[in-house]
Amino acid sequence: MKSEFIAPVDSDRQTATCLVIAKPEISKKIEDLLTPEFFCHLYSSPRDIKEDSLPEHDIQCVIIHITNRNFPLLKSSIENMKQMRGLPIISLIQDIDMEVARVCGKIGVDRLIDFHSLRDLKNSISDTIYQVPQAISLQDLGIDMERFPLVVKTALRYIQDNYISLHNVSEIAKLTGVNEGTLSRLFRKFDLDGPKRILMQYKLLHAMTLMSRQGLSIKRIAEYSGFTSEKRFCEFFSNTFHVPPNQYRKQHVRSGDG
């Protein structure tokens, strides 16, 4: 049975949430810059954070203001946060030396933004959190892998784990050790959509999770979902749902009601 693509239910959360660790005056600047696109939990120090007050799925990104002076106090907190939650961490750095910058990368900081270029923070957050593969499973596409041979399972798992960065079937076929034609025939043999269409469905599902995000244009959504262009995204979306993405957004994603 071919995979049945079903549009996901609209997300209840329209605003991504960031955990901000900085002195109050700096936190306020960050919050003013990011709202309303992002909701911010503000803390002066990691010691002020109570884990039970931060639901596991509520935070998408951590922003930490780092200087040479406060880095020794923050280093272990950053390491623990990365290990426990695995969240993207953006460091807003102010007059730090090269050694501190090097250690930031070593302990898992994903991006360094100069405090004097604070205006770049919003785009950096979007680039960091929206291009992370979502927890979209093969079951979401109606695919049960139990009956498939190893080559097909390997290809499907590779698509599931790397769909944003993948652009063509040749990349998938190379991993499995067979050519594109053989891989496509194997998919058809087990009554699956072709690997290219399944890859595009993954990208489209990712795009659907971003449709309710405030401040994200259709062009940005296409980019964050791994489509090669906005035009390609709009074509595939319209062919799948028989309505352009902008029109779908107006009809199904309403401000305040999810």
Contact 90, 132 (CB under 8 A): no
- Looking at residue 95, the DSSP 8-state letter turns out to be S
Whole-number Å distance between alpha carbons of 252 and 41: 28
Average pLDDT across the chain, whole number = 86
What was the pLDDT predicted at 10?
A: 46
Is the peptide bond preceding residue 36 cis, with omega within 30 degrees of 0? Answer: yes
pLDDT band at 145 (very low <50, low <70, confident <90, very high): confident
Domain ranges of the chain: 16-129, 137-258
As a whole number, mean pLDDT of residues 37-46 equals 90
Write out pLDDT tens, residues 151-164: 999 999 999 999 99
The per-residue b/e assignment along 131-155, b for 16 or more CB within 10 angstroms, e otherwise, is ebebebebebbebeeeebeebbebb
Does the pLDDT of residue 3 top 70, yes or no?
no
| Amino acid letter, 29 | K
User: Which pLDDT score is estimated for 2?
Assistant: 52
- The SS3 assignment for 239 reads helix
pLDDT at 256: 39
Strands (E), the chain: 16-21, 38-43, 61-66, 89-93, 111-114
Helix (H/G/I), strand (E/B), else coil: 52: helix
Fold of 137-258: Arc Repressor Mutant, subunit A (1.10.10)
> Residue 223 contacts by C-beta under 8 Å, 6 or more apart in sequence?
230
Q: Which homologous superfamily is 16-129 in? A: Response regulator (3.40.50.2300)
Q: How far is CA 41 from the centre of its chain?
A: 19
- Structure-token pair, residue 75: 């280093």
How is the beta sheet containing 61-66 ordered, strand by strand? 38-43, 16-21, 61-66, 89-93, 111-114
Long-range CB contacts (< 8 A, 24+ apart) of 114-122?
A: 115/65, 118/29, 118/30, 118/33, 118/92, 119/33, 121/30, 121/33, 121/34, 121/63, 121/90, 121/92, 122/33, 122/34, 122/37, 122/38
- Predicted confidence (pLDDT) at residue 60 exceeds the cutoff of 50: yes
Work out the average pLDDT over 183-207: 93
Span 108-127, average pLDDT: 89
The Cα 162–Cα 132 span in angstroms is 10
- Res. 9 pLDDT band, cuts 50 70 90: very low
What pTM, to 2 d.p., does this model score?
0.70
Identical fold for domains 16-129 and 137-258, yes or no, is no
Between CA 244 and CA 165 the distance in angstroms is: 24
In the chain, the amino acid numbered 23 is K
Q: Is the per-residue pLDDT at 6 higher than 90?
A: no
**Number of neighbours of residue 123 by Cβ within 10 angstroms:** 11
